[in-house]
């Protein structure tokens, strides 16, 4: 999951709203594929989604008397399982008196649409030298475990092949 919609209630930081949203989007979130569905498969039709297809994270930070760096750990999620993979990712540095208050909506999505939904940081398919044998190496960013990524990918591929077969009348 990755943050896809951000409602900014207050932002007096040096980062513009669109940049703040961009940075939040790039935070990798721990994801449970069983509990959430893709927004386009959800029947809620709401632009900000429903509990089935999104997670709300809230950030309310302020620098009172000194310059502070706001880290990913300060995002409060409505789902304890869906949190940034690390709480040490810097989001923004606030000077005294600056304040950020926002609601971020994390959703499932595909890496094809935006790199923030890529579950892997490296995915390498190499030739082994033997005919028709390949070696696949994947490295997770932490949102999903490597086995989950692989099985989910296989599942999606399988579904696509089935769809293709159905469409062509092969099944």
Q: Which residues make up the interface to another protein (CB under 8 A)?
A: 14, 16-19, 22, 26, 111-112, 114-116, 118, 121-127, 134, 137, 139
Cα 106 to Cα 93: distance, rounded to the nearest angstrom: 22
Pairing of strands 68-71, 2-11: unpaired
Q: Which is nearer to another protein, 62 or 123 (CB)?
A: 123
Tokens of 156: 């999606």
Q: Which residues pair with 139 in a beta bridge?
A: 122
Minimum distance from residue 148 beta carbon to another protein (Å): 19
Q: Which is nearer to another protein, 33 or 138 (CB)?
A: 138
Minimum distance from residue 2 beta carbon to another protein (Å): 11
Cβ count within 10 A of residue 60: 14
Minimum distance from residue 157 beta carbon to another protein (Å): 13
3-state secondary structure 28-85: CECCCCCCCCCHHHCCCCCCCCCCCCEEEEEEEEECCCCCEEEEHHHCEECCCCCCEC
Q: Which is nearer to another protein, 23 or 30 (CB)?
A: 23
Q: Which is nearer to another protein, 122 or 170 (CB)?
A: 122
Contact 124, 74 (CB under 8 A): no
Q: Which is nearer to another protein, 81 or 127 (CB)?
A: 127
Minimum distance from residue 10 beta carbon to another protein (Å): 12
Minimum distance from residue 44 beta carbon to another protein (Å): 26
């Amino acid at each position: 999951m990755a943050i896809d919609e951000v409602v900014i209630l207050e932002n007096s930081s040096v980062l513009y709203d669109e940049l703040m949203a961009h940075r939040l989007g790039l935070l990798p979130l721990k994801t449970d594929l069983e509990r959430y569905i893709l927004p386009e498969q959800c029947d809620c039709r709401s632009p900000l989604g429903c509990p089935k297809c999104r997670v709300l994270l809230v950030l309310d930070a302020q620098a009172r008397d000194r310059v502070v760096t706001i880290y990913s750990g300060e995002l409060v999620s409505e789902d304890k399982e869906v949190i940034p993979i690390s709480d040490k990712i810097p989001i923004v540095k606030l000077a005294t008196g600056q304040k950020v208050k926002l609601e971020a909506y994390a959703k499932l999505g595909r890496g094809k649409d935006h790199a923030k939904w890529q579950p892997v940081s490296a995915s390498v398919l190499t030739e082994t030298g033997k005919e028709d044998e390949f070696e696949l190496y994947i490295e997770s960013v932490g949102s999903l475990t490597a086995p989950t990524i692989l099985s989910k990918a296989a599942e999606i591929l399988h579904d696509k092949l089935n769809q293709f077969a159905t469409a062509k009348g092969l099944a």
